[in-house]
Amino acid sequence: MIIVTGGAGFIGSNLIQQLNHAGINDILLVDNFAPAPNLTGPKFLNLAGAQFADYMDKREFRAALKAGDFDNLKIRAILHQGACSNTLEDDGRYMMDNNFTYSKELLHFALDHKIPLVYASTAAVYGASTEFKEHPANERPLNVYGYSKLVFDNYVRRHMPEFKSTVVGLRYFNVYGPREQHKGRMSSVIHHFTRQLKDTGTIRMFEGSGGYANGEQRRDFVFVKDLAHINMFFAGLLPDSPRKSTHAVVNAGTGEARTFKAVAEALMQVHGPGKIEYIPFPGDLKNRYQHYTQADAADLRTAGYTAPFTSLEEGVQQTFAEEPAV
């Protein structure tokens, strides 16, 4: 069995689809289907066509772990995507329980049973930094979401010399792709720009900010299928996966920053021509916004992952060739 937490979310549901494509259906899907104010649609729609063996609510799953219900099960890998990913959430106690304590529980279970654990971290740990190398000097989160992820990364780092089985943290950069329609404001700009272009014929993006001209803010946009592949690689689920255990906290990004205008141009190639309108930068994002991200992928490559990343243009094409589309 493979455990996928957050399995109904954007990245988790795409991960399950990719596991299915690899012939893997013996999956325990863990998620929380309770309504949340930051979501604009039900997550279960992401699972159309997905094959998995069982489902557990996150609270039920955590209780079962604590009770030892999984101690005698044969588990091939744990792919931990479950977290509170709302970057505007200010409830630090809630965020730390979801993103730190929950992750710590899974880590110790995986280590005790020598099960490969691959977990989702985030580029939000870098905050306003302009250097994206995995080094403490660059890690300055701007919100409690990024902070909660950094605290767990550091916990993993401190204990890494003791590990006897694979533990890999992946710092996701700006992820896009199908199955993110439920995320509301937290959806990628690919999703937001698409809705605007289809509804009004105009894509609205921020005026110059953070030292960048209109629409020239830059992000490292990474296609969600690439992230699924990286998870499966380090979890030992692919033919070319490492044969020895891997211990690392690494960036998961393309290493190439692209402008928001480049995103708009890629979308217009798919959906047809439109206009671009520049709008004032929102006040509630001040001191919370990354104007530029670009992964340093050297440590990812050193850890053994050598596959190329999907280009922005090809990823956008693939996103809208699939159902359900964003």
Catalytic residue list: 145, 183
> CA-to-CA distance for 188 and 184, rounded, in angstroms?
9
Q: Identify residue 248 by its one-letter amino acid code.
A: A
24 and 51 Cβ atoms separated by less than 8 Å:
no
DSSP string, 283-305: GGGTTT--SB-----HHHHHTT-
> CA-to-CA distance for 189 and 176, rounded, in angstroms?
8
Question: Which of these, 151, 124, 73, 97, lies nearest to 288 by C-alpha position?
Answer: 124
Residue 27: beta bridge partners?
Answer: 2
Q: If DSSP states are collapsed to H, E and C, what string results for 40-67?
A: CCCHHHHHCCCCCCEEEEHHHHHHHHHH
Element (H, E) at 192: helix 189-200
Burial 22-53 (b: 16+ CB within 10 A, else e): eebeebbbbbbeeeeeebeeebeebbeebebe
